[in-house]
Structure 1
Amino acid sequence: MTEQTGTQPEARTTVMWVVKIGGSLSHEPTLRHWLAELCEIGGGRVVIVPGGGDFADKVRQYQNEWRFDDLAAHNMSLLAMTQYALLMKGVFPELVLASSEAKIRRTLRDGHVAVWVPTALMRDTPDAMSNWDTTSDSLAAWLSTMLNAERLIVVKSCPIAADDALETLAATGVVDRRFVDYVKDANYVVELFDKNSVALMRDRLLNSPVT
């Protein structure tokens, strides 16, 4: 686990956490543990961001085969994240899919856990997000900023040491290349957990004050 703390958070009316669950957990038994714990103790507080996983890997495969541009790949990758979101809801039907800020906030007000469906970020023309340097890691950071979240937790299947610098993790491909830029001035806490850190996440969430 590695942690970065940005500037002091602004005052918030509720404590909101964004938990990005990497696509690499989509075939891991620990995915069920993460979702179970978040459903049990994260109602009204947690927004889950799905990774792309092998759904996104298929996009890369098709792009290599057909040579279409990154804009098409970006839009397809958002649908890949949506497939993972649907998988999560299939495993835990109590999760609520939410494609807009308004639906996310309404879901939390109702005491549920939201799973972000990022289809609103589909584009007709390229922008700074429509490239492979910006993946679901950076999108989770973007969402955390938009929602004025208190904390962003990024869950990966690979081991992560407490002293691993974000720059090193980006250079080695653990997080995407743009992630450091997205979080460097964040007003929320950023933590990276490995797949076996469910108990640590539970402890963090249970001991985080609710305002």
Structure 2
Amino acid sequence: MWVVKIGGSLSHDPALREWLTQLWEVGGGRVVIVPGGGDFADTVRQYQREWRFNDVAAHNMCLLAMAQYAILMQGVLPELVLASNEQRIRRALRDGRVAVWVPTELMRVTPDPMTNWDTTSDSLAAWLSATLNAERLMVVKSCAVDAGTPLEALASNGVIDPRFLSYVKEANYVVELFNKSDVALMRDRLLNMPVV
């Protein structure tokens, strides 16, 4: 199983439809998509600055932002299956479908290591990859990502969030970052993925 995190920066980009279509065509039964927060999460930042509510509230609102992007994805490609927990994700994969994670079960009442702005959907995708015992985490960004760039450099440049490194430090899955134009490369990787 592969987890593919699609950045919120693609939410207004025609490349989004191509990524979703290709993942659906070649990833059925093997792919879980994690949506970013995009504009929806940016709006949470604005409201927090205005109303000065705590990071737990902001975290919960950002999970809903990711849920909105997930619903947008399914709206673009109705064959995708929205799944809010591991059981539903695994059921969708058993049915040969592609799941889109709706992370509302991570909503919190009290602060924990996830409830801060250093932990974004990138880190949540890494957390989900570990939870699902995924083989690979592919993170799709709209910015240029040079193959082989160390994750530390990407974190210091703000391409991935600061907590991402701690989530993947001891990962038993492969971590790769892709540019939005790398859809053919992703398709090739999936087509050559051994079926387990």
Shorter-chain-normalised TM-score: which range?
Answer: over 0.9
SS at match of 2:21: helix
Selected match of 1:161 from 141, 146, 150: 146
Shift of 1:163: 2.6
Give the corresponding residue for 1:5: none
Instruction: Provide the C-alpha distance between the structure 2 equivalents of 1:163 and 1:121, rounded to a whole number of angstroms.
Output: 32
Q: How far apart, CA to CA, are the structure 2 residues paired with 1:67 and 1:173?
A: 24
Q: What is the distance in 2 between the residues matched to 1:58 and 1:162?
A: 32
Q: Tell me how far apart the structure 1 counterparts of residues 126 and 77 of structure 2 sit (CA, whole Å).
A: 24
Q: Counterparts of 1:113 and 1:155 in 2: how far apart (Å)?
A: 17
1:134-180 C-alpha deviation (Å, 9 max, x unpaired):
00000000000000000000000000001311001111110000001
Equivalent residue for 1:104, pick from 86, 89, 93: 89
Give, in whole Å, the separation in 1 of the partners of 2:79 and 2:17: 13
Unaligned runs of 5+ in 2: none
TM-score by length of 2: 0.99
The residue type paired with residue 149 of structure 2 is D
Task: State the Cα RMSD in Å.
Answer: 0.4
Q: Percent identity?
A: 76
Runs of 4+ in 1 over 6 A off after TM superposition: none
Take 1:170 and 1:116, find their aligned partners in 2: how far apart are those partners?
A: 24
Q: Which residue of 47, 51, 54 corresponds with 1:66?
A: 51
> Hey, what's the Cα distance between the residues in 2 that align with 1:103 and 1:36?
21
Aligned counterpart, 1:182: 167
Partner residue, 1:117 = 102
What is aligned with 1:92?
77
CA distance in 2, matches of 1:48, 1:137: 12
Deviations 1:34-83 (A, max 9, x none): 00000101100000000000100000000001100100000000000000
Amino acid at match of 1:139: L
Letter in 2 for 1:171: S
Paired amino acid for 1:127: D
Give the AA of the match of 1:118: P
Residue aligning to 1:191: 176
Counting matched residue pairs gives 196
Q: Which residue of 2 aligns with 1:208?
A: 193
Give the partner amino acid of 2:134: A
AA aligned to 2:19 is W
Q: Which residue is equivalent to 2:137?
A: 152
| Alignment-derived partner of residue 123 in structure 2 | 138
Residue 41 (structure 1) aligned with residue 36 (structure 2): no
2:111 and 2:84 mapped to 1: Cα distance? 20
For 2:48, give the aligned amino acid.
Q
Aligned counterpart, 1:28? 13
Question: 1:24 is aligned with what amino acid?
Answer: S
Partners of 2:52 and 2:155 in 1: how far apart? 26
Q: Distance in 1 between matches of 2:178 and 2:107?
A: 28
| TM-score, reference length from structure 1 | 0.92
5+ residue gaps, structure 1, are: 1-15
Residue 4 of structure 1: aligned partner: none
Distance 1:162 1:46 in 2: 22
Q: More relative contact order in 1 or in 2 (CA 8 Å, sep 6+)?
A: 1
Alpha-carbon separation, structure 1, partners of 2:191 and 2:148: 24
Is the partner of 2:158 in helix, strand or coil? coil
